[in-house]
Structure 1
């Protein structure tokens, strides 16, 4: 289906629908600052659509072709607030909130902020632990702070990213974004990045970045958690158990993909032979079973 646009909080969000118009709405959220068009997303969306679901794929702010946005307690909180307002504009009352990797964090925070909008919560590849959390500080924040302090906002406009998403690509994908960054300016950009950095400082009372453990007790909706892979440093097995323990009544299942799926996908992505989320569609059967329970 063709891309659509909606204005939220003074910026445009690009989205699309996959599946029947009368299907139960599932918001599918990827990780990183990856676009909705990144490999593996449409394959999972199509599989869920075959099960009768209407899947909402969206370019979160600072992803794909949507407008850059800089506000909120953390980047994930900003995305959650954007989704809440977006659903209101689209006239959607409730959704199944589904996400992997950074998208899992986004959907957990969305459920915390808008419990009335969530029927069920479905998460996998959850980031947590010292290595994973500190790694994300480097992926999302530290280069940005170094660059804005030495090169100003024009340096940010030209800044790439080894993962393939960076401010330069955001500006290339959406010509408005360079002007949006200039309007924000170096001082405000640095202020927001420094605030967002706090989420990626490992803390003993935060199983996942930017969410205090006590906050999880507010999640009352049926929740499905996929256990992290045995050797997955980016989405530790331990973190999935911690989140399961923190969300009362949640269900933890074994991975519906190979134990080393993330490691093998990472190897293929780095060699240009695949994408990080290529294996996610293997979870469709378990996901549909949970949604339909």
Structure 2
């Protein structure tokens, strides 16, 4: 694997595609959940963009894949956004089109807003929002680990399925996790959990609306499905309204995509939630060709 040291962390990554040229641009893709860069659908999207002349960075966020675990920052997404900005600079790949879905959309938005110098554009889909959606992911990302640390210490945290991949693929992470102070760990995750609490004037956790209005990069926002309670349609529409240079478009799938992918994963008929992301490639390419400077 290729790794880089960013903010004192070892970060796994790879680059797909050439150096650009013609209509090619540089992209950074981020999935959702605690999925790493090998999650089904992500590499296929990167390859589809590379076939159209683009150069694409795939990376493992801290706490995913082969990268180090890290428990610092105002929120997990903010910490990861800082690492992405540093990685792009370290690899001399900035500025790039920062793109991602679900949790990756939040990281992408925060990266572009807090580290404007690394962003040439922004493309996001499946933006988490709404009271139920935000409180659900707060519990999903933090609740199990807090309870495990409280009741069984860090050994119980290390035994949770949600940490299995990052501990297996980066053995040093097991030591880091087991050596962490349970009280300090709980304090960090409670801070991260609180960051998801809905707030007036902050549609996306960690991104004040006034900062979104000041984010002057070309942006492409895919409208969420009306049936999706986790990534609310109105959240996507309001994000597009906030961003001053945004284009709101329909996604290349039906209204029930999120539910259908969840059902397929549960039934074992599809390997993950992001398997149809390659369908985004033509829209992403055409938008980039229309609004972004050539490489």
Residues in 2 aligned to 1:249 and 1:19: alpha-carbon distance in whole angstroms: 27
* Counterpart position of 1:177: 173
Does 2:286 align with 1:286?
no
SS at match of 1:65: coil
* Counterpart position of 1:122: 123
What's the TM-score once normalised by structure 2's chain length?
0.93
Does 2:258 align with 1:258?
no
Structure 1 unmatched runs, 5+? 161-165
SS at match of 1:97: strand
Contact 2:214–2:244 (CA under 8 A) maintained in structure 1 = no
Structure 2 unmatched runs, 5+? 291-295
Deviations 1:64-84 (A, max 9, x none): 111101111111100011111
Count of residue pairs brought into register by the alignment: 286
Deviations 1:180-199 (A, max 9, x none): 11333212211210110112
TM-superposed CA distance for 1:20, in Å, is 1.5
TM-superposed CA distance for 1:235, in Å, is 1.1
SS at match of 1:200: coil
SS at match of 1:168: helix
Residues in 2 aligned to 1:172 and 1:213: alpha-carbon distance in whole angstroms: 39
Residues in 2 aligned to 1:93 and 1:236: alpha-carbon distance in whole angstroms: 31
Residues in 1 aligned to 2:269 and 2:64: alpha-carbon distance in whole angstroms: 22
Deviation beyond 6 Å, 4+ runs, structure 1: none
Residues in 2 aligned to 1:16 and 1:169: alpha-carbon distance in whole angstroms: 18
TM-superposed CA distance for 1:101, in Å, is 0.6
Contact 1:97–1:118 (CA under 8 A) maintained in structure 2 = yes
* Counterpart position of 2:139: 138
TM-superposed CA distance for 1:171, in Å, is 1.2
* Counterpart position of 1:163: none
Contact 1:4–1:14 (CA under 8 A) maintained in structure 2 = yes
Contact 1:70–1:192 (CA under 8 A) maintained in structure 2 = yes
Residues in 1 aligned to 2:241 and 2:92: alpha-carbon distance in whole angstroms: 34
What's the TM-score once normalised by structure 1's chain length?
0.94
Residues in 1 aligned to 2:200 and 2:3: alpha-carbon distance in whole angstroms: 40
SS at match of 2:265: helix
Deviations 1:151-195 (A, max 9, x none): 1111111112xxxxx123321221110111133321221121011
Contact 1:129–1:208 (CA under 8 A) maintained in structure 2 = no
Residues in 2 aligned to 1:213 and 1:114: alpha-carbon distance in whole angstroms: 16
Residues in 2 aligned to 1:271 and 1:210: alpha-carbon distance in whole angstroms: 35
- Pairing of 1:1-293 with structure 2 (within 5 A): 3-22=1-20, 23-160=24-161, 166-274=162-270, 275-293=272-290
Contact 2:240–2:246 (CA under 8 A) maintained in structure 1 = yes
